[in-house]
Structure 1
Amino acid sequence: MKKTGELYAGKAKTVYTTDDPALLVLEFRNDTSAFDGEKMEQLERKGQVNNQFNAFIMKALQQAGIATHFVDQLSTNESLVRNLDMIPVECVVRNRAAGSLVRRLGIEEGKELVPAIFEFFLKNDALHDPMINDSHIATFGWASEQEVAAMKALTLQVNDVLTQLFADGGMVLVDYKLEFGRFNGDIVLGDEFSPDGCRLWDARTGEKMDKDRFRQNLGNVIESYEEVGRRIGIEFQS
């Protein structure tokens, strides 16, 4: 298997085609962005940390019976993944109040949400990823009713697995987003799972250990990502 060309360059990852049309190479770069790309920086080691973090999480989810696009880690900053037909919808689960939920509803940050809140957002940076619902998805044909049900079920299954994984490492999984695609007729987890796309707080101190450190200028962004990884058993390679 070899790379044959660049397919897509996002804010923090580049996707390459390969000589197998069913497989892609996902490169994690050091680019770091927030606020729909309004804030951009290069953070040393970020690409390799997020690639290895994502590989660890995807393997853990696969072991729990959740289908993902991840095939293999190729290097410190590249992974081999299945070529999905991506659905332009983000699935968000909130276990604690934070971020846009606090701003929208005036909920106190950190409030435990029981049951957890599930939300859909349209993946569109130009529109600032607006919130949508099942009706929007059906009307505009982004996914079928069966696919929507599958995405919801898989997202909540991921929540069961990862809340426990991070709790064992002394952390609270506050919220996160997932993206899904179609592969051979099945709904499969795509994109990535890293501290870039979730919120993680130290269970004892409440210290933020995710990309909010970048958004809020708290410093030690990558050091915090590495600490999260070490707590759940990741041995990072340089």
Structure 2
Amino acid sequence: MARRKLIYEGKAKILYEGPEPGTYVQYFKDDATAGNGAKKDVIEGKGVLNNRMSEFFMVGLGNIGIPTHFIRRINMREQLIRQVEIIPLEVIVRNFAAGSMAKRLGMEEGAALPRPIVEFSYKDDKLGDPLVPEEYIIAFGWASQQDMDDIVSMALRVNDFLSGTMYGVGIKLIDFKIEIGRIWDNEFPRLVVADEISPDCCRLWDVETGQKLDKDVFRQDLGNLADAYTEVARRLGVLPSNVTHRPKPTLIN
């Protein structure tokens, strides 16, 4: 088995040094967390499902001209990605009121919004990923005004793609979050969709029944999270035929 150098370990994924300069291997874990890590569990097969679904969405975005960090899937749990400079923001797109928005504004969960709304939160678990306005983002130098214009445009295009794809399999896209990174071509930065796109970072409801098929199942103790993710993968046609678990690579420090 190849020995790989650990670069970073987060709540749901691990990054290892890639086989070529400028690449990482992204490993999807079975860990599930909620409330910034306050609630934790291991959901057998979750990493396999998220790897396959993220591949499906990243390839789909690339096919319509939205650049991503994705290069190719390596195996059931790993994919090869480009090394990017992550902008320290979570880019949130909301189509219906849910979660923190519904609580903040006293709205009924599931109420349709007049148009998709793009929000930003500052990526810092210790601070609880607080919402921040564009003025903060530009003033603190996290992104330029041109970056923000491009990010909003990209986020809305991603929303169109995800909403249409999900609705086609009987799923309503309530909201989602993505991360955006920079890839440098010589001295010129290019914005790309990074991290992952999976039910971990989307709210997904069945169109007919309203059944939740996302991480709210875990957050709210609504049933078996693996069953919910499996149902989404089945509808998308990306359910792996053999969900096996590969041991983690040996690390060198």
Shorter-chain TM band: over 0.9
SS at match of 2:203: strand
Q: Is the 8 A contact 1:3 1:19 kept in 2?
A: no
Q: Which amino acid aligns with 2:223?
A: G
Is residue 223 from structure 1 mapped to residue 207 from structure 2 by the alignment?
A: no
- 1:78-117 to 2 correspondences below 5 Å: 78-117=78-117
Partner of 2:171: 171
Distance in 2, matches of 1:8 and 1:26, equals: 10
Distance in 2, matches of 1:234 and 1:113, equals: 30
Q: Is the 8 A contact 2:200 2:214 kept in 1?
A: yes
Identity over aligned pairs, percent: 43
Please report the TM-score for the alignment, with normalisation by the length of structure 2.
0.91
4+ residue runs over 4 A deviation: none
Distance in 1, matches of 2:132 and 2:35, equals: 19
Partner of 1:159: 159
Q: Which amino acid aligns with 2:57?
A: I
Q: How many residues align?
A: 237
1:195 is matched with which residue: 193, 199, 204?
Answer: 199
Distance in 1, matches of 2:85 and 2:18, equals: 16
Deviations 1:34-64 (A, max 9, x none): 0000001001001111111100111111111
Deviations 1:67-96 (A, max 9, x none): 000000001000000000000011101101
Deviations 1:198-231 (A, max 9, x none): 1000000000000000000111211111111111
Distance in 2, matches of 1:222 and 1:194, equals: 13
- 1:1-238 to 2 correspondences below 5 Å: 4-184=4-184, 185-237=189-241, 238=243
Q: Is the 8 A contact 2:181 2:192 kept in 1?
A: yes
Structure 1 residues without counterparts, runs of 5 or longer:
none
Choose 10-19 or 169-178, whichever is displaced more: 10-19
- Offset, 1:3: 6.2
Q: Is the 8 A contact 1:3 1:25 kept in 2?
A: no
- Offset, 1:233: 2.0
RMSD: 1.0
Partner of 2:248: none
Distance in 2, matches of 1:3 and 1:181, equals: 27
SS at match of 1:50: helix
Structure 2 residues without counterparts, runs of 5 or longer:
244-253
Q: Is the 8 A contact 2:90 2:120 kept in 1?
A: yes
Change in 2 beyond 3 A, CA 1:3/1:147:
farther
Distance in 1, matches of 2:239 and 2:41, equals: 25
SS at match of 1:159: helix
- Offset, 1:21: 2.3
Compare relative contact order (CA 8 Å, sep 6+) and give the higher one, 1 or 2. Answer: 2
Partner of 2:251: none
SS at match of 2:115: strand
